[in-house]
């Protein structure tokens, strides 16, 4: 079965993609009759060296994303994973030559088709009297034994674009640029890893992996790698990659040693999430610095992809100060990242947290036995939420990401860890404030924010008094804050429905002679009934409001959780004879 792609047609997808890039970038132009993109200001390059690169489409943003002042002059694109036509390459060479450039350097990745087609165009251009040179980039560090075809050209080619572009912008000649980038390419290596394959539009995936396999050392055209390894943690996979790239037993290794200075590229092969990319980058930096390697610059993003392949490649380039200046030189290329011109290694990556303000004296502190009861209540609430994790997640899947139970369990574990550090505060106001901070920091999601708002607001009436009317007022304050910032109202099918129902019953605490347990029992029953009733409500707030009400046949998980918390509180109070 072929994969789904957002294309107009398989045959025209490469043309449409390049046309889209040019349409969005006024600094680019298409060369009529060819799949070629050029700088719109070609006339400004008179007397300078032009830089052309290219290859098959499907590697976006490479190569056209790197056209601009300080990088490439133009790009010739082939069909997906297919070398560009000789005629288009020659047309691009002629176009820059006729604009008054003094020579053209072709920067070509080491693949047979690219070498042949760019090489043939070079020979034809030279026959016309055009000064043309070609560098073939092979930065693949996958093969321990050198193949006859040489090392494949991978993401490190983008760094060659940058170095060559900086030299050309500075006015260097064709011979000098060719010599310099050829030397730089020898001090560079790239290795990729992927969780699965990619698929060319109109085709099936190029290879298959089982659920516990990862492909190591693969290229950028969907071809399989040098070996398959078992799925492991990011730290373990990144260490394996860097060990392979730097091992002296590997003929294509990067000769790193303690004290070496490198540029690190962490390249998304197309389908990896930015979350995963950040984890990989962190692992690579920690691993390299653990070896005593200095990271001069770190570039993280999508530079040379393989369509939608969910993988990543690491590129290491040994640098000195002169080379670093070329990497840092200004460029207008849209896909080149805005990288800080300071070393990554050797700087502080965190700062001390702000100091908590001193707590004001509180005259409402409860006795030791009451503080012990608070601990029992919190423990029961935590055990209740942990026991409901799967049920709440199942209820939440109907309306979104299915993590309501996980979120509440995270809060429960955070409270349990907090209780291990010592008894809870004796003051009710301080207790709720501490819980608010804890949930805001540890629980996460909108639930954490809503509970945090509720507890912060509820703490305020308890600073002066802690009698039953004060606790009723605390409930009112918490509900008001939730409605103000959460924009939910009773009947909107949220956790507020349970809490609101309980709050209405707790108004009875404001009457003289009101009893704690009888009214709390009524409030809990009302909250449970309200939670059950949410399955017949149309969601008016929260993520569920975007889902058709016909699909929401179960009660709201937040309302169920809130009612369960109230039930847990009641049960402990009853067992303690309050």
What does each of the 578 residues of the chain score in pLDDT, given as a tens digit? Answer: 677 899 999 999 999 999 999 999 999 999 999 999 999 999 999 999 999 999 999 999 999 999 999 999 999 999 999 999 999 999 999 999 999 999 999 999 999 999 999 999 999 999 999 999 999 999 999 988 887 888 999 999 999 999 999 999 999 999 999 999 999 999 999 999 999 999 999 988 888 889 999 999 998 997 878 889 999 999 999 999 999 999 999 999 999 999 999 999 999 999 999 999 999 999 999 999 999 999 999 999 999 999 999 999 999 999 999 999 999 999 999 999 999 999 999 999 999 999 978 866 655 555 556 778 899 999 999 999 999 999 999 999 876 678 999 999 999 999 999 999 989 988 999 999 999 999 999 998 888 999 999 999 999 999 999 999 999 999 999 999 999 998 889 998 999 999 999 999 999 999 998 999 999 999 999 999 999 999 888 766 655 554 544 445 789 999 999 999 999 999 999 988 65
Q: Is 173 annotated as a binding residue?
A: no
CATH no. of 12-328: 3.40.50.10440
Q: How far apart are the first and last CA of the chain?
A: 66
503, 505, 507, 508: CA torsion to nearest 10: -160
Per-residue confidence (pLDDT) for residue 546, from 0 to 100: 44
CA 489 to chain centre: 34
Contact 72, 212 (CB under 8 A): no
Q: Is 535 annotated as a binding residue?
A: no
Closest listed residue to residue 548, CA positions, set 402, 399, 401 = 399
Cis ω for the linkage preceding 63 (within 30 of 0): yes
Residue from 34, 63, 161, 221 carrying the catalytic annotation: 221
Per-residue confidence (pLDDT) for residue 278, from 0 to 100: 97
Q: Which residues contact 407 (CB under 8 A, 6 or more apart)?
A: 443, 444, 445, 447, 448
Determine the angle formed by the axes of helices 516-533 and 495-505, rounding to 10 degrees. Answer: 150
What 3 state SS string does 361-401 have? CCCCCCCHHHHHHHHHHHHHHHHHHHHCHHHHHHHHCCCCC
Per-residue confidence (pLDDT) for residue 116, from 0 to 100: 97
194 membership: H or E segment, kind and range? strand 188-194
Q: Is 320 annotated as a binding residue?
A: no
Q: Give one DSSP letter per residue of 31-82, joined into a string.
A: PTTSSEEEETTGGGGTTSEEEEEEEEESSTTTTGGGBSTTSBSEEEEEEETS
Per-residue confidence (pLDDT) for residue 412, from 0 to 100: 96
Per-residue confidence (pLDDT) for residue 553, from 0 to 100: 75
What 3 state SS string does 100-139 have? CCCEEEEEEECCHHHHHHHHHHHHHHHHCCCCEEEEEECC
Contact 49, 174 (CB under 8 A): yes
Per-residue confidence (pLDDT) for residue 513, from 0 to 100: 87
Beta pairing partners, 314 = 191, 266
Where are the domains positioned within the chain?
12-328, 369-576
Q: Is 57 annotated as a binding residue?
A: yes
Contact 559, 500 (CB under 8 A): no
Half-sphere exposure (Cβ direction) of 338: Cα atoms closer than 13 Å: 0
Residue 543 is classified by DSSP as: G
**Burial class of residue 511 (count of CB atoms within 10 Å of its CB; 0-12, 13-18, 19+):** exposed
The two three-digit tokens of residue 258, written as one number: 């303690």
The two three-digit tokens of residue 337, written as one number: 């990242």
Distance CA 305, CA 303 (A): 6
CA 349 to chain centre: 19
Closest listed residue to residue 509, CA positions, set 497, 498, 522 = 522
Distance CA 26, CA 46 (A): 20
**Burial class of residue 33 (count of CB atoms within 10 Å of its CB; 0-12, 13-18, 19+):** exposed
Residue 2 is classified by DSSP as: P
Q: Is 59 annotated as a binding residue?
A: yes
Decide if 221 is catalytic: yes
Does the domain spanning 369-576 belong to CATH 1.10.3720.10?
no
Q: Is 56 annotated as a binding residue?
A: yes
């Amino acid at each position: 079965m072929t994969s789904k792609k957002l294309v107009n047609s398989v045959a025209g997808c490469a043309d449409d993609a390049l046309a889209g890039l040019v349409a969005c970038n006024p600094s680019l132009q298409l060369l009529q009759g060819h799949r070629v993109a050029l700088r719109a200001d070609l006339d400004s390059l008179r007397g300078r060296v032009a830089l052309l690169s290219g290859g098959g489409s499907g590697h976006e943003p490479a190569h056209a994303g790197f056209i601009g002042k300080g990088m490439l002059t133009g790009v010739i694109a082939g069909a997906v994973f297919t070398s560009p036509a000789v005629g288009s390459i020659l047309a691009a060479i002629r176009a820059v030559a006729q604009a008054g450039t003094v020579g053209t350097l072709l920067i070509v990745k080491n693949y047979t088709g690219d070498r042949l087609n760019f090489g043939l165009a070079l020979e034809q251009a030279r026959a016309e009297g055009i000064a043309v040179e070609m560098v073939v980039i092979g930065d693949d560090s996958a093969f321990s034994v050198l193949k006859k075809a040489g090392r494949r050209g991978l993401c490190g080619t983008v760094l060659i674009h940058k170095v060559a572009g900086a030299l050309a912008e500075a006015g260097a000649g064709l011979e000098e640029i060719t010599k310099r980038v050829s030397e730089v390419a020898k001090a560079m290596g790239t290795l990729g890893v992927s969780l699965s394959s990619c698929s060319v539009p109109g085709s099936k995936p190029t290879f298959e992996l089982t659920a516990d396999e990862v492909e190591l050392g693969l290229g950028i055209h969907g071809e399989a790698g040098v070996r398959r390894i078992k799925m492991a943690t990011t730290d373990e996979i990144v260490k394996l990659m860097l060990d392979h790239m730097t091992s002296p037993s590997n003929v294509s290794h990067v000769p790193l040693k303690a004290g070496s200075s490198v540029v690190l590229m962490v390249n998304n092969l197309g389908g990896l999430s930015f979350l995963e990319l950040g984890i990989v980058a962190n692992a690579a930096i920690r691993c390299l610095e653990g070896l005593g390697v200095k990271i001069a610059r770190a570039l993280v993003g999508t530079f040379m992809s393989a369509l939608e392949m969910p993988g990543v490649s690491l590129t290491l380039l040994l640098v000195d100060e002169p080379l670093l200046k070329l990497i840092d030189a200004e460029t207008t290329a849209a896909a080149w990242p805005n990288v800080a011109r300071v070393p990554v290694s050797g700087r502080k990556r965190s700062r001390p947290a702000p100091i908590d303000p001193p707590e004001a004296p509180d005259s409402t502190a409860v006795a030791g036995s009451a503080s012990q009861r608070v601990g029992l209540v919190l423990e029961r609430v935590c055990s209740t939420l942990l026991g409901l994790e799967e049920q709440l997640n199942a209820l939440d899947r109907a309306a979104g990401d299915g993590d309501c139970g996980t979120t509440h369990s995270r809060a429960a574990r955070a409270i349990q860890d907090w209780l291990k550090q010592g008894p809870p505060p004796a003051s009710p106001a301080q207790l709720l404030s501490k819980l608010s901070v804890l949930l805001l920091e540890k629980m996460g999601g909108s639930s954490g924010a809503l509970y945090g708002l509720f507890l912060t607001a509820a703490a305020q009436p308890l600073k002066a008094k802690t009698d039953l009317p004060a606790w009723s007022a605390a409930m009112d304050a918490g509900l008001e804050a939730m409605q103000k910032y959460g924009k939910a109202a009773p009947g909107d099918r949220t956790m507020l429905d349970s809490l609101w129902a309980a709050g209405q019953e707790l108004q009875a605490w404001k009457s003289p002679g009101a009893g704690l347990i009888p009214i709390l029992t009524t409030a809990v029953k009302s909250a449970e009934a309200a939670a059950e009733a949410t399955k017949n409500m149309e969601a008016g707030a929260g993520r569920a409001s975007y889902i058709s009400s016909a699909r929401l046949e179960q009660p709201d998980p937040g309302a169920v959780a809130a009612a369960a918390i109230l039930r847990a509180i009641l049960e402990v109070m009853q067992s303690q004879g309050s």
